[in-house]
Amino acid sequence: MNISIEDQLGLISFEVDKEKHIKVETSICRQCVDKPCLRFCPSKRFTLEKGEIVHNYEGCLECGSCKFACPKGAVDFSYPRGGYGVYYKYG
């Protein structure tokens, strides 16, 4: 089974908030050569657009990894407001 992350995320239910729960200080990312966020995020929410890191909070699985895996401390992590975000049917 070879399914893309977009298709995977399409299977999951989300209550999308207007407010971002994760904020990324991209000026710090410019100095980061390795950019591991492009790899460790299991739902690939970090992408590179025109050389800049972009974080898309929609589709975030709230796994918590970016809270501490960003080596530069560029990620300001919190959970979505109550009731918002992912809701698993199986878990």
Interface positions with other proteins (CB under 8 A):
1-3, 5, 8-9, 11-12, 15, 34, 36, 38-44, 61-65, 67-69, 71, 77-83, 85-91
Q: Whose Cβ is closer to other proteins: residue 1's or residue 18's?
A: 1
Query: From CA 8, how far away is CA 72, in angstroms rounded?
Result: 29
Q: Whose Cβ is closer to other proteins: residue 9's or residue 28's?
A: 9
Task: Provide the minimum distance between the beta carbon of 15 and other proteins in the complex, in angstroms, as a whole number.
Answer: 7
Q: How many CB atoms lie within 10 A of CB 64?
A: 10
Query: From CA 71, how far away is CA 30, in angstroms rounded?
Result: 13
Q: Which two tokens stand for residue 50?
A: 């025109």
Question: Contact 1/77 with Cβ under 8 angstroms?
Answer: no
Q: Whose Cβ is closer to other proteins: residue 50's or residue 89's?
A: 89
Task: Provide the minimum distance between the beta carbon of 10 and other proteins in the complex, in angstroms, as a whole number.
Answer: 9
